[in-house]
Amino acid sequence: MKNFFRNLGAKAQRWMSGRYGYDELSRALSTIALIFLLLACVPELKYLYVPALLLWIISLFRCYSRNLEKRRNERSAYLCVIGRIKGWFALKKRAWKDRKTHRYIRCKQCKAVLRVPKGKGKLQVTCNRCHNTIIIKT
């Protein structure tokens, strides 16, 4: 019995060699598909069944694909978008945490976020990225 499972594992490993596998994007697609499937149980939302199946099929296609370069590019684009979203939420969280002591402003030229202390009167702030000077009242 042990040899059967060992051989089965070896066969699965050989079959998966050269294939892309499960990554963050596939996990996100599968999760969204599962949520859509659960929502499709509600009679008014039964139309979500088809998009759920399509997302699940795309997720499986990505896992078993042999076009590694294309899957890496898709993952890279996904991580870039998710990184921007997470960065935005992290900035909002930091701004809320520092709301009593600091103020966050944007540079007019490069749109970088600058953190300045509150209650210091007029300040001349220099952007670290583009070296633009901004005069601001804190």
Write b or e for each residue in 98-115: b if 16 or more Cβ atoms lie within 10 A of its Cβ, otherwise e: eeeebbeeebeeeeeebe
Fill in the amino acid letter for 81.
V
Both tokens of residue 6? Answer: 């060992």
Q: Which residue has the higher pLDDT, 7 or 2?
A: 7
Mean pLDDT of the chain: 89
Question: Residue 70: what pLDDT?
Answer: 93
| Domain segments of the chain as ranges | 2-97, 100-138
What are the tens digits of pLDDT across the range 84-125? 999 999 999 999 999 899 999 888 888 888 889 988 888 888
Is the pTM value of this prediction over 0.85? Answer: no
Tally: H helices and E strands in the chain: 4, 4
17-32 per-position pLDDT tens digit: 777 888 899 999 999 9
Q: What local confidence, expressed as pLDDT, does residue 136 receive?
A: 85
CB 121 within 8 A of CB 135: no
The b/e string for 60-97 (b: 16+ C-beta within 10 A; e otherwise) is: eebbebeeeeebeebbeebeeeeeeeeeeeeeeeeeee
CA distances from 42 to 34, 37, 45, 47, 53 (A): 14, 10, 5, 10, 16
